[in-house]
Amino acid sequence: MSEKDLSKLFDLFGRVAVVTGGTGIQGTRITRGLAAYGADVGVIDLDEDATQALADEIKNEYGVNAIGVACDVSNKKAVTAMVAKVCDALGAIHVLHNNAASKTDNPADFFVPFEDFDFGVWRDIMSVNIDGMFLVAQAIGKQMIAQGTGGSIIQTASTYGIVGPDFGIYEGSEYMGHTITTPAAYSASKGAVVALTKYLATYWGDKGIRVNTLVPGGIESGQNETFQKNYGARVPLGRMAHVDEMVGAVVYLASDASSYMTGQMVVVDGGWTAW
């Protein structure tokens, strides 16, 4: 293998990246981050107008190609159609940020104690957080194999997919006006993401498809001051993450800078899991 130009390790020019959950708090910044390093971007989320609006902004800001596609990732036919649309518009797919996740339509249902947690809500969360992860990885992995190009798949988990929650931080805590906790459905789904990643890394290694997991810590996104204070006291760096602090990790995993890395977790949690 010839030596690489080290100044271009992070370049994504000529590559197409698909981001599910692309108009969410994290997805919005990551789509821009990938575009900033030269990738053409498929913005995937439920709202067609929102995905196309963000795609148009990305085209104007970064001079890359971009398309917005509405897709329910828990629907196999919708996922198949989404992949076809992205390929028709942008060409071969080289990067997937498998990022879509659900906290249900009604946040109050998400924060119910385990003893009373509704099984229907459990299934709704699983249908997106792990069923959708499976369907998108399957469809785009299959596309990468057909292309013969290899690729990089980055799947979003959570610190609560690798360690149990610290329930002490939730006393007096709120998110968007709701008393909050972390439900078992969220932790279980994110733990499954880590396991799926390791499986796919070994399964597709000989196809040149790398599969890694981004493990974010808590991102500041509307929690009340009490929660932010409690959370910060539990973290060596003393604060919650800013959403932009996940972008560099995804760019790294998408690029040749991580070309010998697969089946791994990149934990960006301010040191939460260090103690």
Q: Residue 223 is encoded by which pair of tokens?
A: 């929690």
Q: Which of 3, 30, 90, 18 lies closest to 252, judged by CA?
A: 30
Contacts of 146 (CB under 8 A, 6+ apart): none
User: What is the token pair recorded at 22?
Assistant: 């692309």
Residue of 170, 186, 231, 252 marked active site: 186
231 belongs to the catalytic site: no
Tell me the catalytic residues. 186
